[in-house]
């Protein structure tokens, strides 16, 4: 099964207890199977919305990896914060 590994970067402003908070992080990700072919063709540095799930990197690891199920270009002008 083809697998593509990636490092995703996130940056957004979230509201917490009425105070704006800058949220930034990086997370290891992978795309497996059919989606890996599509994912391997996208330009680096693009802005995308991802659908997927978090799972341990391996059975004995405490590190998490985001498994990409689907993605699409993000509408940069769209406000994505749901407030949740």
pLDDT in tens, 4-15: 999 999 999 999
Closest listed residue to residue 42, CA positions, set 54, 26, 53, 29? 29
| Per-residue pLDDT reduced to its tens digit, 40-83 | 999 888 899 999 999 999 999 999 999 999 999 988 765 454 44
How far apart, in whole angstroms, are the C-alpha atoms of residue 74 and residue 71?
A: 9
- The model's pTM: 0.79
pLDDT at 75: 83
Could you tell me which of 14, 83, 16, 4 has the C-alpha nearest to residue 50? 4
Q: How far apart are CA 76 and CA 79, in angstroms?
A: 8
According to the model, what pLDDT value does residue 1 have?
86
Per-residue pLDDT at 45: 87
CATH number of 3-73: 2.40.50.140
Domain boundaries, the chain: 3-73
């Amino acid at each position: 099964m083809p697998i593509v590994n990636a490092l995703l970067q996130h940056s957004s402003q979230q509201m917490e207890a009425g105070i704006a908070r800058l949220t930034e992080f990086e997370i290891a990700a992978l795309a497996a199977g059919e989606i890996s072919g599509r994912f391997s063709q996208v330009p680096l540095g693009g802005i995308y919305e991802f659908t997927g799930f978090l799972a341990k990197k391996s059975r004995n690891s405490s590190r998490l990896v985001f498994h990409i199920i689907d993605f699409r270009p993000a509408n940069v002008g769209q406000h994505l914060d749901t407030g949740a």
